[in-house]
Structure 1
């Protein structure tokens, strides 16, 4: 797979002969072995997951796949140059085939799918959508079709617009700024503390919007400039 030896050694060191200790109020427990799981909040768990599933895009060639940490997104594009009705039939056929391949892959890799959290979204420039939408099931669970879905911190709609994401970020910013100001008005604060609170609770929302700012419309950019 072309994985560097240093990276393989890093994985080996984490997964073999792992031990841990719990400390509460300066009192430590005995050392005990760890047989599963990964360090919470560490980059190791996410990179190991991506490395372990690096062959997924070759196993499921029908869709463009995107892996980030422990999240997976698959995108199927409709054919160009055929009638809309035929496009819908073709997408439904390929979608069901792709989902079956994904289920089989999850069994081979011993990585069960979370059917409850699995969602489908249909997007197109056409005004009309397939009615009814394809019936996708797995493990006796109906896969839900949604018009709005949050993926990696961003809200994605069927029209692939960013209006809802912007509004949600602005709402959260107002709430967090009000929280910081409430501490200021109480008198038990300082400039350094308010700066720290702003960087911790407010700045991440601005940073998230900045990452997708080039995708905004001119009107959305102008609206943000006055926010």
Structure 2
């Protein structure tokens, strides 16, 4: 008399063979002249605010955008080229007020948490497939700048927006060196509870403004 194990094994061996499922196509997408449209559409679908701006005009355009939102103070990194350009373009006493990230976290934490309304950082690039920004935080422009203020402004060079993450990895040679913290941002911070109620700004900025710069970022 066969055991239960023998009967189960016999049934498994006698079961009809199923053809192997076809593997998915992992070929990275190519959007061609629709790359920017795809990048913008994906970001806006995630509730980001996207603006295409000529290189010479971006500081003034940003000032107007933030002033219209009632922003009173903007954090920037004075040691970066982007921060230096912003400080040069905005007059002293002009609204919004610039706040330099030029001190230790301990010295600036009260302003970071309670006073700063927005922060401006440079994105290393963008990914059209997912509508993502590539952030590489540095000591001069740390992750706290894009994480703590209610509004995060990311400045990205249009020429550095690529079709996919795979293309980005290859084109920029990430295999030769990466930062300790590479971040992909695809919209403002959001989370949902068990009832699927979506809330923004719980774990980070509640608004994301993306300035896509046409021409070399100054």
Per the normalisation by structure 1, the TM-score is 0.21
The structure with more strand, counted as a fraction of residues: 2
Q: Which structure carries more relative contact order (alpha carbon 8 Å, separation 6+)?
A: 2
- TM-score, length-scaled by structure 2: 0.22
